[in-house]
Amino acid sequence: MTSFKTGTKAAVLAAISFSIPSLVSTYRERLGITDLPISKSKFNEKISFKYQVPELKVLSPYHTVITHMFHHKDLEHFLWNMYTLTSSTLYLDVGFEQTAFLFIGGGITGLLTHIFKWKSKLSLSSEPTDNMNPTSVMDTLLPKELPQSLSKIIDEDKFKNVRNSYIHVRSQLTNRIFSVCGSSAGVYSIVGAETVQIVCDLFKTIFGRGRKRTIKDKDDNEKQIGKLVMLEVNAFSRVNWLIAEVLALLRSNESLKSDRNLNLAHMNGFIFGAVVMGIWKLQDYFGFSL
Protein backbone atom coordinates (compact mmCIF):
# COMPACT_ATOMS: atom_id res chain seq x y z
CA MET A 1 0.00 0.00 0.00
CA THR A 2 1.68 3.19 -1.15
CA SER A 3 1.40 6.20 1.12
CA PHE A 4 1.69 9.83 0.08
CA LYS A 5 2.39 12.55 2.63
CA THR A 6 -0.37 14.82 1.40
CA GLY A 7 -2.74 12.26 -0.11
CA THR A 8 -5.14 11.93 2.81
CA LYS A 9 -5.16 15.68 3.44
CA ALA A 10 -5.98 16.30 -0.22
CA ALA A 11 -8.89 13.85 -0.02
CA VAL A 12 -10.23 15.60 3.08
CA LEU A 13 -9.93 18.98 1.37
CA ALA A 14 -11.85 17.58 -1.62
CA ALA A 15 -14.63 16.27 0.66
CA ILE A 16 -14.97 19.67 2.34
CA SER A 17 -14.94 21.50 -1.01
CA PHE A 18 -17.62 19.26 -2.51
CA SER A 19 -19.85 19.95 0.52
CA ILE A 20 -19.68 23.75 0.26
CA PRO A 21 -22.18 24.27 -2.62
CA SER A 22 -25.06 22.54 -0.82
CA LEU A 23 -24.26 24.49 2.35
CA VAL A 24 -24.40 27.75 0.39
CA SER A 25 -27.76 26.75 -1.10
CA THR A 26 -29.11 26.08 2.41
CA TYR A 27 -28.16 29.55 3.67
CA ARG A 28 -28.64 31.45 0.43
CA GLU A 29 -31.08 33.96 1.97
CA ARG A 30 -28.84 34.75 4.94
CA LEU A 31 -25.92 35.18 2.58
CA GLY A 32 -27.91 37.59 0.43
CA ILE A 33 -27.70 35.50 -2.74
CA THR A 34 -31.37 34.75 -3.30
CA ASP A 35 -30.84 34.88 -7.06
CA LEU A 36 -28.74 31.71 -6.88
CA PRO A 37 -30.24 29.39 -9.54
CA ILE A 38 -29.85 26.26 -7.40
CA SER A 39 -32.03 26.19 -4.27
CA LYS A 40 -31.98 23.89 -1.24
CA SER A 41 -34.97 21.98 -2.61
CA LYS A 42 -33.06 21.33 -5.85
CA PHE A 43 -30.12 19.96 -3.89
CA ASN A 44 -32.46 17.75 -1.89
CA GLU A 45 -33.93 16.48 -5.14
CA LYS A 46 -30.69 15.98 -7.06
CA ILE A 47 -28.17 15.09 -4.34
CA SER A 48 -29.95 13.49 -1.37
CA PHE A 49 -30.65 9.76 -1.48
CA LYS A 50 -34.37 9.01 -1.25
CA TYR A 51 -36.01 5.61 -0.94
CA GLN A 52 -39.17 3.92 0.26
CA VAL A 53 -39.65 0.82 2.42
CA PRO A 54 -40.76 -1.87 3.15
CA GLU A 55 -41.42 -2.30 -0.58
CA LEU A 56 -37.89 -1.20 -1.39
CA LYS A 57 -37.69 1.33 -4.18
CA VAL A 58 -35.03 3.95 -4.88
CA LEU A 59 -36.75 7.27 -5.60
CA SER A 60 -33.69 9.37 -6.43
CA PRO A 61 -31.06 9.10 -9.19
CA TYR A 62 -28.55 6.34 -8.55
CA HIS A 63 -25.64 8.78 -8.36
CA THR A 64 -27.09 9.97 -5.04
CA VAL A 65 -25.63 6.81 -3.46
CA ILE A 66 -22.42 8.89 -3.38
CA THR A 67 -23.55 12.52 -3.71
CA HIS A 68 -25.73 12.38 -0.57
CA MET A 69 -22.48 12.38 1.41
CA PHE A 70 -21.73 15.94 0.30
CA HIS A 71 -25.08 17.42 1.35
CA HIS A 72 -25.74 18.39 4.98
CA LYS A 73 -29.01 19.48 6.54
CA ASP A 74 -27.53 22.53 8.33
CA LEU A 75 -24.31 24.23 9.41
CA GLU A 76 -24.05 22.27 12.67
CA HIS A 77 -24.30 18.97 10.79
CA PHE A 78 -21.58 20.11 8.38
CA LEU A 79 -19.21 21.47 11.03
CA TRP A 80 -19.42 18.38 13.25
CA ASN A 81 -18.69 16.02 10.36
CA MET A 82 -15.84 18.14 9.02
CA TYR A 83 -14.31 18.57 12.49
CA THR A 84 -14.34 14.81 13.06
CA LEU A 85 -12.98 14.19 9.56
CA THR A 86 -10.09 16.66 9.77
CA SER A 87 -9.11 15.73 13.33
CA SER A 88 -9.07 12.04 12.38
CA THR A 89 -6.61 12.62 9.56
CA LEU A 90 -4.05 14.63 11.55
CA TYR A 91 -2.31 11.32 12.21
CA LEU A 92 -3.70 9.06 9.48
CA ASP A 93 -2.10 9.24 6.04
CA VAL A 94 -2.82 6.36 3.68
CA GLY A 95 -2.91 8.19 0.35
CA PHE A 96 -5.60 9.90 -1.73
CA GLU A 97 -7.19 6.84 -3.34
CA GLN A 98 -7.24 4.83 -0.12
CA THR A 99 -8.78 7.70 1.84
CA ALA A 100 -11.45 8.19 -0.83
CA PHE A 101 -12.18 4.45 -0.74
CA LEU A 102 -12.57 4.51 3.07
CA PHE A 103 -14.77 7.61 2.97
CA ILE A 104 -17.09 6.53 0.15
CA GLY A 105 -17.15 2.87 1.22
CA GLY A 106 -18.07 3.82 4.77
CA GLY A 107 -20.80 6.14 3.50
CA ILE A 108 -22.33 3.42 1.33
CA THR A 109 -22.11 0.93 4.21
CA GLY A 110 -23.99 3.34 6.45
CA LEU A 111 -26.59 3.94 3.75
CA LEU A 112 -27.22 0.21 3.29
CA THR A 113 -27.53 -0.17 7.06
CA HIS A 114 -30.12 2.62 7.13
CA ILE A 115 -32.12 1.08 4.30
CA PHE A 116 -32.23 -2.53 5.45
CA LYS A 117 -32.71 -1.65 9.12
CA TRP A 118 -35.85 0.33 8.29
CA LYS A 119 -36.95 -2.26 5.77
CA SER A 120 -36.80 -5.03 8.37
CA LYS A 121 -38.54 -2.92 11.02
CA LEU A 122 -41.34 -1.70 8.78
CA SER A 123 -42.02 -5.01 7.06
CA LEU A 124 -45.33 -6.32 8.33
CA SER A 125 -44.50 -9.78 9.60
CA SER A 126 -47.03 -12.48 8.92
CA GLU A 127 -48.92 -14.04 11.82
CA PRO A 128 -49.84 -17.65 11.01
CA THR A 129 -52.97 -19.18 12.55
CA ASP A 130 -54.34 -22.71 12.57
CA ASN A 131 -55.54 -23.97 9.19
CA MET A 132 -55.02 -20.54 7.59
CA ASN A 133 -52.43 -19.15 5.23
CA PRO A 134 -50.26 -16.55 7.00
CA THR A 135 -51.20 -13.00 5.98
CA SER A 136 -50.35 -9.62 7.40
CA VAL A 137 -52.94 -7.24 8.79
CA MET A 138 -52.21 -4.67 6.09
CA ASP A 139 -52.55 -7.22 3.31
CA THR A 140 -55.92 -8.19 4.75
CA LEU A 141 -57.14 -4.59 4.79
CA LEU A 142 -55.51 -3.58 1.53
CA PRO A 143 -54.84 -6.56 -0.76
CA LYS A 144 -51.89 -6.19 -3.10
CA GLU A 145 -54.16 -6.66 -6.11
CA LEU A 146 -57.78 -5.74 -6.77
CA PRO A 147 -60.12 -8.71 -7.28
CA GLN A 148 -60.26 -9.65 -10.96
CA SER A 149 -64.03 -9.97 -10.63
CA LEU A 150 -64.23 -6.17 -10.78
CA SER A 151 -63.31 -6.36 -14.44
CA LYS A 152 -66.73 -7.95 -15.04
CA ILE A 153 -68.47 -4.92 -13.56
CA ILE A 154 -66.54 -2.18 -15.34
CA ASP A 155 -64.87 -2.24 -18.73
CA GLU A 156 -61.23 -3.21 -19.09
CA ASP A 157 -59.81 0.29 -19.65
CA LYS A 158 -61.53 1.72 -16.58
CA PHE A 159 -60.44 -1.29 -14.56
CA LYS A 160 -56.79 -0.64 -15.49
CA ASN A 161 -57.11 3.00 -14.39
CA VAL A 162 -58.77 2.02 -11.13
CA ARG A 163 -56.13 -0.64 -10.49
CA ASN A 164 -53.25 1.78 -11.13
CA SER A 165 -54.81 4.36 -8.81
CA TYR A 166 -55.35 1.71 -6.15
CA ILE A 167 -51.74 0.52 -6.34
CA HIS A 168 -50.52 4.11 -6.00
CA VAL A 169 -52.73 4.81 -2.98
CA ARG A 170 -51.77 1.51 -1.35
CA SER A 171 -48.09 2.29 -1.83
CA GLN A 172 -48.57 5.67 -0.14
CA LEU A 173 -50.32 4.05 2.83
CA THR A 174 -48.07 1.04 3.30
CA ASN A 175 -44.63 2.55 2.61
CA ARG A 176 -42.52 5.18 4.31
CA ILE A 177 -40.18 7.48 2.40
CA PHE A 178 -36.78 8.46 3.77
CA SER A 179 -34.31 11.07 2.56
CA VAL A 180 -30.68 10.53 3.59
CA CYS A 181 -27.88 13.10 3.52
CA GLY A 182 -24.58 13.68 5.28
CA SER A 183 -21.14 12.11 5.43
CA SER A 184 -21.23 10.81 9.01
CA ALA A 185 -20.82 7.11 8.15
CA GLY A 186 -17.93 7.94 5.80
CA VAL A 187 -16.33 10.11 8.47
CA TYR A 188 -16.58 7.33 11.05
CA SER A 189 -14.99 4.97 8.55
CA ILE A 190 -11.95 7.27 8.63
CA VAL A 191 -12.07 7.26 12.46
CA GLY A 192 -12.12 3.45 12.40
CA ALA A 193 -9.09 3.34 10.11
CA GLU A 194 -7.26 5.88 12.27
CA THR A 195 -8.00 3.85 15.41
CA VAL A 196 -6.50 0.69 13.88
CA GLN A 197 -3.47 2.67 12.65
CA ILE A 198 -2.78 4.05 16.13
CA VAL A 199 -3.21 0.66 17.82
CA CYS A 200 -0.79 -0.96 15.34
CA ASP A 201 1.79 1.79 15.81
CA LEU A 202 1.39 1.60 19.59
CA PHE A 203 2.07 -2.15 19.62
CA LYS A 204 4.97 -1.69 17.21
CA THR A 205 6.51 0.97 19.45
CA ILE A 206 6.12 -1.13 22.60
CA PHE A 207 7.06 -4.57 21.28
CA GLY A 208 8.82 -3.92 17.98
CA ARG A 209 12.32 -3.09 19.22
CA GLY A 210 15.07 -5.18 20.73
CA ARG A 211 15.72 -5.37 24.44
CA LYS A 212 19.04 -3.51 24.27
CA ARG A 213 18.22 0.16 24.22
CA THR A 214 20.15 3.26 25.15
CA ILE A 215 18.75 5.78 27.62
CA LYS A 216 17.99 8.12 24.71
CA ASP A 217 16.13 5.35 22.86
CA LYS A 218 14.08 4.63 25.96
CA ASP A 219 13.22 8.31 26.41
CA ASP A 220 12.20 8.64 22.76
CA ASN A 221 10.21 5.43 23.02
CA GLU A 222 8.34 6.64 26.10
CA LYS A 223 7.51 9.93 24.39
CA GLN A 224 6.23 8.08 21.32
CA ILE A 225 4.10 5.78 23.48
CA GLY A 226 2.66 8.75 25.35
CA LYS A 227 1.82 10.47 22.07
CA LEU A 228 0.14 7.36 20.67
CA VAL A 229 -1.86 6.77 23.85
CA MET A 230 -3.17 10.35 23.73
CA LEU A 231 -4.09 9.95 20.05
CA GLU A 232 -5.91 6.70 20.82
CA VAL A 233 -7.83 8.32 23.68
CA ASN A 234 -8.86 11.13 21.34
CA ALA A 235 -9.92 8.64 18.66
CA PHE A 236 -12.07 6.64 21.07
CA SER A 237 -13.56 9.83 22.54
CA ARG A 238 -15.15 10.51 19.15
CA VAL A 239 -17.05 7.22 19.20
CA ASN A 240 -17.70 6.44 22.87
CA TRP A 241 -21.11 8.09 22.79
CA LEU A 242 -21.88 6.19 19.60
CA ILE A 243 -20.97 2.87 21.21
CA ALA A 244 -23.20 3.71 24.19
CA GLU A 245 -26.12 4.47 21.88
CA VAL A 246 -25.70 1.21 19.97
CA LEU A 247 -25.53 -0.78 23.22
CA ALA A 248 -28.71 0.97 24.34
CA LEU A 249 -30.26 0.06 21.00
CA LEU A 250 -29.45 -3.62 21.51
CA ARG A 251 -31.04 -3.57 24.97
CA SER A 252 -34.09 -1.56 24.00
CA ASN A 253 -37.30 -2.46 22.23
CA GLU A 254 -37.65 1.10 20.93
CA SER A 255 -35.72 0.31 17.77
CA LEU A 256 -37.87 2.37 15.40
CA LYS A 257 -36.36 5.69 16.46
CA SER A 258 -34.59 7.21 13.48
CA ASP A 259 -31.66 8.56 15.52
CA ARG A 260 -30.84 5.08 16.78
CA ASN A 261 -30.93 3.66 13.27
CA LEU A 262 -28.61 6.46 12.18
CA ASN A 263 -26.23 5.69 15.04
CA LEU A 264 -26.14 2.05 13.98
CA ALA A 265 -25.33 3.21 10.43
CA HIS A 266 -22.49 5.34 11.81
CA MET A 267 -21.14 2.41 13.81
CA ASN A 268 -21.15 0.18 10.74
CA GLY A 269 -19.21 2.88 8.91
CA PHE A 270 -16.65 2.77 11.74
CA ILE A 271 -16.46 -1.04 11.50
CA PHE A 272 -15.98 -0.83 7.72
CA GLY A 273 -13.01 1.52 8.10
CA ALA A 274 -11.46 -0.57 10.88
CA VAL A 275 -11.81 -3.83 8.92
CA VAL A 276 -10.39 -2.36 5.71
CA MET A 277 -7.45 -0.82 7.57
CA GLY A 278 -6.86 -4.14 9.32
CA ILE A 279 -6.72 -5.89 5.95
CA TRP A 280 -4.24 -3.32 4.64
CA LYS A 281 -2.06 -3.80 7.71
CA LEU A 282 -2.07 -7.57 7.22
CA GLN A 283 -1.09 -7.06 3.58
CA ASP A 284 1.86 -4.90 4.64
CA TYR A 285 2.90 -7.35 7.35
CA PHE A 286 2.77 -10.50 5.23
CA GLY A 287 3.83 -8.79 2.01
CA PHE A 288 0.89 -9.77 -0.18
CA SER A 289 -1.94 -7.96 -1.94
CA LEU A 290 -5.47 -8.99 -2.77
Encode pLDDT of 197-243 as tens digits: 888 887 777 776 544 455 555 566 677 777 777 766 766 666 676 67
Global pTM value: 0.73
Strands 57-58 and 176-180: unpaired
> What are the CA-CA distances from residue 163 to residues 96, 142, 148, 150, 160 (Å)?
52, 12, 10, 10, 5
Residues 77-81 have a mean pLDDT of 90
Structural domain includes residue 129: no
Does position 277 have pLDDT exceeding 80, yes or no? yes
Taking phi first (over 0 means left), then psi (-120 to 50 degrees means alpha), and beta for anything else, what does residue 122 get? alpha
More confident residue, 167 or 8: 8
Q: Is residue 132 part of a domain?
A: no
Residue-level pLDDT at 4: 42
Would you say residue 17 has pLDDT above 50? yes
Per DSSP, what are the bridge partners of residue 230?
none
Domain tally, the chain: 1
- The answer to whether position 70 is within a domain reads yes
| Average pLDDT estimate for 53-66 | 87
- Residues 124-139 pLDDT 10s: 444 433 433 434 445 5
Assigned domain for 191 exists: yes
Could you give the CA distance from residue 290 to residue 281 in angstroms, rounded to a whole number? 12
Q: Which domain holds residue 219?
A: 7-124+138-286
Of 166-180, 182-196, 264-278, give the lowest mean pLDDT range.
166-180
Using the predicted structure, report yes or no on whether residue 275 has a pLDDT greater than 50. Answer: yes
Stronger pLDDT, 272 or 230, i.e. the higher one: 272
**Measuring CA to CA, which residue among 199, 252, 260, 245 is closest to residue 225?**
199
Does 245 map to a domain? yes
Instruction: Between 144 and 30, name the one with better pLDDT.
Output: 30
**Average pLDDT, integer, range 2-31:** 80
